């Protein structure tokens, strides 16, 4: 079984190229990130080349974070900005050869937000052959986020109808909102483009909490790609990695 370090949370106190080297030293098979745009893409590419780690994915910009934005793609009055964020993510992904782009929809609701998100996803899917991911966020951490459930994500993927649009299945978010992780993984298997994990409910390392990750990892033993460790270490990342050697057996 292979694992990816999400550098939005792990080694987040280090510059992104240094975090890539730390992930390699810790034995991860890949990396992924949230918003790498303050780091020159060439510097990230150099760190990836030096370590041999692939970059699995990155997120589109959240927008005006100070104003409380958390994505733009479902905001009817921010279409131009959403398209610019998508294009920015594709350009960065092209340099670092990121496998996927997570298009963040933001805080919105209603039919107009739905139509806007569909149009922006079609734009993203047509603009690149890379995977485009959408991710439901749980209502406890992100109240008001447009995409909240895997059923809603399935309907959107069906409506958009693009072969490169996939679901980001985050066991943490699904665990907080829907539960029944193994059944949901099986039911959505063909739509899933990436899987992430963290403990429930505190979003810490996967060695405690409500979800039995020994069972979940065993269930995913045949998954062909690295699973994304997207948890909050609450301190020194290296001190939280006991689960990694355990999961590898």
Between CA 6 and CA 11 the distance in angstroms is 9
178 classed as catalytic: no
d(CA 173, CA 171): 6
Task: Name the active-site residue from 135, 159, 178, 210.
Answer: 135
* CA 213, chain centre distance (Å): 18
Residue 100 DSSP class: E
How far is residue 27 from each of residues 9, 55, 108, 180, 247, measured CA to CA in Å?
A: 17, 15, 39, 30, 12
Catalytic position from the list 69, 178, 210, 230: 230
Cross-strand pairs, 184: none
SS (H, E, C) 122-174: HHHHHHCCCEEEECCCCCCCCCCECCCCHHHHHHHHHHHCCCCEEEEEEHHHH
Known active-site residue 135? yes
Sole residue written with tokens 């149009």 = 119
State the catalytic residues: 135, 230
């Amino acid at each position: 079984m292979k694992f990816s370090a999400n550098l939005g949370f792990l080694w987040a106190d280090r510059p992104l190229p240094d975090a890539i080297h730390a992930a390699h030293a810790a034995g991860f098979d890949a990396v992924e990130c949230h918003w790498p745009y303050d780091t020159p893409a060439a510097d990230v590419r150099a760190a990836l080349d030096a370590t041999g780690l692939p970059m699995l994915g990155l997120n589109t910009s959240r927008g005006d974070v100070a104003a409380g934005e958390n994505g733009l793609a479902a905001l009817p009055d921010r279409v131009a900005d959403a398209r610019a964020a998508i294009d920015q993510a594709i350009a960065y992904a092209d340099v670092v050869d990121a496998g996927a782009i997570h298009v963040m929809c933001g805080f919105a609701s209603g039919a107009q937000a739905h139509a806007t998100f569909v149009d922006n996803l079609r734009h993203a899917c047509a603009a690149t052959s890379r995977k485009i991911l959408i991710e439901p966020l749980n209502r406890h951490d992100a109240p008001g986020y447009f995409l909240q459930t895997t059923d809603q994500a399935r309907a959107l993927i069906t409506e958009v109808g693009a072969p490169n649009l996939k679901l980001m299945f985050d066991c943490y978010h699904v665990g907080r909102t829907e539960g029944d992780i193994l059944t949901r993984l099986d039911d959505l298997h063909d739509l899933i483009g990436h899987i992430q994990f963290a403990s429930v409910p505190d979003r810490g390392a996967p060695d405690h909490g409500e979800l039995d990750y020994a069972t979940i990892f065993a269930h995913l033993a045949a998954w062909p790609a690295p699973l994304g460790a997207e948890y909050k270490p609450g301190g020194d990342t290296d001190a939280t990695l006991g689960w990694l050697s355990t999961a590898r057996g």
